[in-house]
Amino acid sequence: MFICAQYSSVYPSWVPPAEVLGVLSDEALYIGELRLRVTPLRDTVLPPVSSKLVKSLLLASPVPGWMRELVEARRGYKPLFVSMLYRGRRALYSATTQAGRPLVARAGQPLEARVAFVAHDASAAWELAAVLGGRRETPYGPVETVVEEARIQTPEQLRLPSPADGPTGVLRVEARTPVVLTSKVLVATEPPPGARIPRLHRLLPSPGLVAAYAFRLWNRALGPRYAVYWRDAWNHDAAMVARAAEVYMAEIDYQLHPETVVIGRGASGRLRLARGWRGWITYRVAGPRLARLLDRLLALTNTLGLGRSRGIGLGDTHAQWIQPKNNKTKPNQ
């Protein structure tokens, strides 16, 4: 790339600081994922973001200390995803357009949920699976949980689903809950002193935003041992990846809408809202190198989610390579 982030040249050899990563050594890591069937035992009014029930389920179970810590941690890029409750393909949460209508789950009607995390231990998923099942009391009423599937992967294994052997050049991303991306992710890690960067919610999945967030999440959640680089190590910066993606990737088709979710209530009683995009989009990825990078980065977002508030089920996305349409009359894409 012939574009650079000027101030990042202050890092002659970039190593992510440990406190940024939340990972203190370069030990091996594992990505675990559990699929749960959660059945309310009586008619239940769900919270506006139903993932809170899943969270309290985790905290009501004798889960290991590291998981409890992860659930309660409040920091960006944390290696945990707790999904909304799903009824079939529908994620249960209140968009502001549906405000007032409470979310209700019927007694005996099973719902689905997913928990994904990064762990230091290959057996973490089984330990968690062993303690999560059974009947639990939650602030929303008693529920019965069955762990339907548990899976562990190493970061090296992560690849996107594809109809071919690897990237096809056409990427499809579907968001089942709103994805909240902010413009901060496009800014060099160390802006010059005095620069005031607003935190704006971006509501379109432009290639740069998606790639930059996925790049940061990978490096922050997986730490130095698995760090990925773009071009030179001296400029290990998501802003670089964003610029490459803006030039070598383009939208092919989409169906998108912005959506605001009530994620809680502040101390003053004011509603806390998050606004993001939902729907699906397909991209042409014209750079093979970029395609290979996204093949790994987005495989992580498929489990850990994309964007802010992944810990309460926002950014539940599914990315995959799809077969390019062999359309002779399509415009120059």
Residues binding a second copy (CB under 8 A): 2-7, 183, 186-188, 191-192, 195, 197-206, 208, 239, 243, 246-258, 260, 270-271, 273-275, 284, 286-287, 328-333
Smallest distance from a second copy to CB 318, Å: 19
CA–CA distance, 214 with 6 (Å, rounded to integer)? 22
Question: Which of 148, 246 has the CB closer to a second copy?
Answer: 246
Smallest distance from a second copy to CB 43, Å: 29
Smallest distance from a second copy to CB 248, Å: 7
Question: Which of 101, 199 has the CB closer to a second copy?
Answer: 199
CB 289 within 8 A of CB 167: no
Question: Which of 29, 49 has the CB closer to a second copy?
Answer: 49
Smallest distance from a second copy to CB 200, Å: 3
Question: Which of 13, 268 has the CB closer to a second copy?
Answer: 268
Smallest distance from a second copy to CB 199, Å: 6
Question: Which of 143, 249 has the CB closer to a second copy?
Answer: 249
CB 42 within 8 A of CB 142: yes
Question: Which of 225, 289 has the CB closer to a second copy?
Answer: 289
CB 276 within 8 A of CB 223: no
CA–CA distance, 295 with 181 (Å, rounded to integer)? 20
CA–CA distance, 240 with 222 (Å, rounded to integer)? 19
CA–CA distance, 217 with 77 (Å, rounded to integer)? 5
Smallest distance from a second copy to CB 265, Å: 10
Smallest distance from a second copy to CB 147, Å: 34
Q: DSSP assignment of 121-180, as one string?
A: STTHHHHHHHHH-EEEEETTEEEEEEEEEEEEE-GGG-----SSSS--SEEEEEEEEEE-
CA–CA distance, 238 with 227 (Å, rounded to integer)? 12
Question: Which of 5, 82 has the CB closer to a second copy?
Answer: 5
Sign of the CA dihedral with 175 first, then 176, 182, and 188 last: negative
Question: Which of 147, 209 has the CB closer to a second copy?
Answer: 209
CA–CA distance, 86 with 90 (Å, rounded to integer)? 5
Sign of the CA dihedral with 117 first, then 163, 213, and 88 last: negative
Count of CB atoms within 10 A of residue 79's CB?
A: 26
| E strand or H helix at 104 | strand 103-105
